[in-house]
Amino acid sequence: MHKHASSHARYPSLVLTLLLSGTALATDETAMAELAGEDYFLDQVPVVLSATRLAQPQYEAPAAVTIIDRTMIEATGALDIPDLLRLVPGFEVAHAKGHTASATYHGLADEHARRMQVLVDGRPVYGPALGGVRWTDLPLDIKDVERIEVVRGPNAAAFGANAFLGAINIITQHPSQVNGTELSLLRGNKDTSKALLRHGDRIGKFDYRMSLGYRRDEGFKARTDQGPPDPASGLVSTRDPLNDGMRVSLFDFRSDYQLSNHDALEFLAGYNGGPRGEGRFDDVVEAPRDREVQSHFQQVVWRHNHADDAETRVQFYHNYMRHREHTEALLSDIASQALDTVVPPDAIGFFFPGYSDEIVPTNFSVFEERFELEAQHTQSLSKALRLVWGGSGRLDRVEGDDWYGRDDLIENQLYRAFGNLEWRAYAQGTVNLGAMYEYGSQVGSQVSPRIALNHQLNENHGLRASVSRAYRLPTLYEEKADGAVRFSDGQLIDQYILGNTDLDPEQITSLELGYLGRLPDQHLTLDVKLFHDKMEDRITNPKKYPYPSELAVSPFPVNDGGIFYHTNSGDLSTNGVETALTYRPQKRSMVVLNWAYAKAKGTALNSYEYSLDSANWLYEELAEDVPTHAYSIFGMHRLPQQIDISALYSRVSRMKWLGDGDRLDSQDRLDLRVAKHFQAGGGDHSIALVLQNVLDEYLEFRDENVFDTRAYVELTLGLP
């Protein structure tokens, strides 16, 4: 498991050697003829949509934007969308459980990663109950993703408060891009299997595509130095203490109907359901169980193109998610685990007169639902001015008995108005002025502004300077959490977490300088970003906090004599630089070198220790919450005979994952893929071998999650 320092230098060179040797083979005339016939867009400046809601050339965007296209997605061999973000400078990705991924920009994340906004076809999927994105619960398969645009930096001016550190815009394949039927079958170790059936067609002016899929795997492997001891021998078992397998059933549908020459109507819907393993085999309170997931959405989008090239877009969507999860344990067992000693059942009456030992049920079920109506209008005011503006109204509803200490619905309304003015101030300069106003029923109002200047030195080289301010709204759980252990009659045994209705939004001020350069003849692109981020009022939950006066100290404290309590107690400043060098001579041949450096400094309240004689506030340094170095090397190449090879190497320096995560040493990972495309029976087919982490196993998110080498074989058949 432990790597020798001398081995690190070999991994990047291994990737480059593999790819460069493949490039040399491309001189074969047959392969060159195949590539020459492809409709490739390399020499065109990419257009991005996610920085301002305006379609802009990448060099005119007011923020750094990374683009991951369909060809790159396929070449990675990734099974999960978060793994694709290892292609983005400054991103860290880990799995808190086999079915729970966390993807974050510049650290600062627990398993929910609450500081990134994520959209799928313009629909936010940030969860209102606990915050963050439950990636595995999305009604979306990675094969339906056409493109991902990642805005690296605060983007609240365009997409609201939760685009605090950045925004991820996932764009799925348009129905017109899917014609016919395709079946994909995948099988690998860790009992991993996947089947996906995709179909698309056109009926008159109506285009549609749909996907029906199933997936299962068993999560992380066992560690040989962990696990419950054998009752007879006392020896440590190699049985995995985690119960984190999953079964996923999925349906996804997208359609487009051309109402007229000026109007189009889109309808999208999806479903994701099945059990996810939770709990531990070595834990009485967190006993192994299944969390039954039911997640679905419906979305309607109307677009109207005006005669003057203006466009109006109106969107309504509904997100629904319900998790059913129950467990139970004897109070004496809970007390024994909390006190790390045996508490006999008859001792309960001594500590709680009038009560006896009983089974304490725990309901971890949670429900969340969102309705939102949004309208935006895009227009050209003159040759030098373009404007996008609009507004929305949102209703969030959540429920969770043991999360919020109540069985009724909690509601939150959010109203927003936004706009971005693009001004071509002079021949080589573009100014973007943007802002988002938000008013929420829980936290009041705030404005997130941004101003940026893009200056083109010449046709292929440009500079960018921007300043922005963004906010992250407290989640409903951070405000209204009420976690406790109680007797069946409601009598409090122990309070272990409380929300804080006086929380302020987190605030970040970001200064950015950027360079984007292209050397078309050499097929090179260089993206450089220098940044300074200052975060204030960071929301943390200290490990020990004095009990509020209305709560009695429990003789069986779950949290060792205190409660978790959310506070605005953290401040953090981060300076850094990011670079991305891309060499792409052909659509299916490229090498990308990403590197990110960040130096963070700050403190946050960690715990409160008290005794009869003294009380002390203890603060922790936050530097390790943000990894100092992160880099990746990605390459793909098409060989003769329609054989594709690709490799992705990534390294992240020592960092601390928050919440249930741990402080982990640096990690290296190398993924390889080789695929053969062929035609038979009138269809296009492929077979691929994917190897994930061919290097030494490493720990991911917490010190018991062992990510070992994994192998998958995938067969894709184009059906007649």
Instruction: Report, as an integer, the average pLDDT of 637-642.
Output: 96
Q: How many CB atoms lie within 10 A of CB 508?
A: 24
| 30: confidence class by pLDDT, cuts 50, 70, 90 | very low
> What's the number of domains the chain is made of?
1
Q: Would residue 346 count as lying in a domain? A: no
Q: Is 222 helix (H, G, I), strand (E, B) or coil?
A: coil
Q: Would residue 348 count as lying in a domain? A: no
pLDDT of 88 over the 80 cut: yes
**What average pLDDT is seen over the chain?**
89
Q: Would residue 356 count as lying in a domain? A: no
- The pLDDT tens digits of the residues spanning 630-639 come to 999 999 999 9
User: How far apart (Å, rounded) are the C-alpha atoms in residues 274 and 216?
Assistant: 10
Give residue 63's domain range: 5-325+364-719
Q: Which helix (H) or strand (E) holds 480?
A: helix 476-480
Q: Would residue 557 count as lying in a domain? A: yes
Q: Which helix (H) or strand (E) holds 147?
A: strand 145-152
- The pLDDT tens digits of the residues spanning 315-371 come to 999 999 999 999 999 999 888 887 788 989 998 888 888 899 999 998 999 999 999
Q: Would residue 139 count as lying in a domain? A: yes
User: Rg for the chain (alpha carbons), in Å?
Assistant: 26
| 550: confidence class by pLDDT, cuts 50, 70, 90 | low
In contact, 18 and 639? CB cutoff 8 Å:
no
Bigger pLDDT: 271 vs 283:
271
Q: What proportions of the chain, in percent to the nearest 5, are helix, strand and coil? A: 15, 55, 30
pLDDT of 543 over the 80 cut: no
- The pLDDT tens digits of the residues spanning 422-467 come to 999 999 999 999 999 999 998 899 999 999 999 999 999 999 999 9
Q: Would residue 345 count as lying in a domain? A: no
Task: Out of 8-12, 216-220, 393-397, 606-610, give the one with best mean pLDDT.
Answer: 393-397
pLDDT of 386 over the 90 cut: yes
pLDDT at 493: 85
pLDDT at 29: 35
Q: Would residue 336 count as lying in a domain? A: no
Q: Could you give the residue ranges of the DSSP H alpha helices within 327-449? A: 331-339, 348-351, 401-404
CATH number of the CATH domain containing 513: 2.40.170.20
User: How far apart (Å, rounded) are the C-alpha atoms in residues 529 and 333?
Assistant: 54
pLDDT at 381: 96
pTM of the model as a whole? 0.90
Q: What angle do CA 53, 54, 57 make, to 5 degrees?
A: 125
- The pLDDT tens digits of the residues spanning 42-79 come to 557 899 999 999 999 999 999 999 999 999 999 999 99
Q: Would residue 61 count as lying in a domain? A: yes
- The pLDDT tens digits of the residues spanning 658-703 come to 988 999 999 999 999 999 999 999 899 999 999 999 999 999 999 8
pLDDT at 12: 47
